[in-house]
């Protein structure tokens, strides 16, 4: 079982893991309602290295990025749930809309995002999301990669289904 570490301890964690010769993988997200898509994504990320560190957007940035009513689950609980997964070694809560500061502090060997993020200019023009953290990782010689998403499995889809079920006459089962 992993552990939740304070954001300001990322640098000391990174130093310790490097001294042990560990290949560190980092990913981040909101993880508001854990589902099978998250589990598959995190297992695939963990398979890329020796240690998986997961950054969790704080409540303020989750509300700002996902809208009113979000997060459904507070950041402290989201981090604790993630740390309880066998594939997650450490979870931390970070401030801000992006994980740029977390990446600077941890300097993972591999930074992973879901397949809806762009790895290069061609994917950006194809409508995938940019990820500013990638430039930071590449600058110190780290690797960036994506892991395919599980089709039809997202927190936003789950929230829509719940809201539809709560609306009389929605026709949802």
Poorest-pLDDT segment among 55-59, 74-78, 83-87, 131-135: 131-135
Helices (H), 20-154: 36-46, 59-66, 75-83, 100-106, 121-125, 133-139
User: Using one digit for the tens of pLDDT, what is the confidence trace for 76-110?
Assistant: 999 999 999 999 999 999 999 999 999 999 999 99
Cross-strand pairs, 91: 4, 54
Residues 26-42 as b/e (b if ≥16 CB within 10 A, e otherwise) read bbbbbbbbbbebbebbb
Measured between alpha carbons, how far is residue 128 from residues 78, 113, 114, 149, 171 in Å?
26, 12, 10, 13, 32
| 119 in Cβ contact with 145 (< 8 Å) | yes
User: Using one digit for the tens of pLDDT, what is the confidence trace for 21-40?
Assistant: 999 999 999 998 888 889 99
User: Using one digit for the tens of pLDDT, what is the confidence trace for 145-164?
Assistant: 988 876 666 666 766 777 67
If you average pLDDT over every residue of the chain, what do you get? Answer: 87
* Gyration radius of the chain over CA positions: 16
124 has a pLDDT exceeding 50: no
pLDDT at 129: 63
Superfamily name with CATH number, domain 3-166: HUPs (3.40.50.620)
Query: What percent of the chain clears pLDDT 70, i.e. is strictly above it?
Result: 81
CB atoms inside a 10 Å sphere around CB 142: 19
Tokens 């200019």, residue? 121
Q: How many CA atoms lie within 13 A of 145 on its CB side?
A: 16
Q: What is the pLDDT confidence band of residue 119, given thresholds at 50, 70 and 90? A: low
120 has a pLDDT exceeding 70: no
CA distance 112 to 140: 16
128 has a pLDDT exceeding 70: no
More confident residue, 171 or 15: 15
């Amino acid at each position: 079982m992993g552990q939740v570490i304070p954001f300001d301890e990322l640098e000391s964690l990174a130093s310790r893991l490097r001294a042990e010769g560990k290949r560190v993988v980092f990913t981040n997200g909101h993880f508001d309602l854990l589902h099978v898509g998250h589990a598959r994504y995190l297992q695939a990320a963990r398979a890329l290295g020796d240690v998986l560190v997961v950054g969790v957007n704080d409540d303020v940035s989750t509300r700002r990025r996902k809208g009113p009513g979000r997060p459904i689950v507070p950041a402290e609980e989201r981090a604790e749930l993630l740390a309880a997964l066998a594939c997650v070694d450490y979870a931390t809560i970070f401030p801000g809309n992006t994980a740029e500061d977390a990446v600077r502090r941890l300097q993972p060997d591999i930074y992973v995002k879901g397949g809806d993020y762009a790895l290069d200019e061609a994917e950006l023009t194809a409508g995938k999301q940019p990820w500013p953290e990638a430039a930071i990782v590449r600058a110190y010689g780290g690797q960036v990669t994506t892991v395919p998403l599980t089709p039809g499995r997202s927190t936003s889809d789950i929230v829509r289904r719940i809201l539809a079920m709560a609306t009389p006459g929605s026709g949802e089962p």
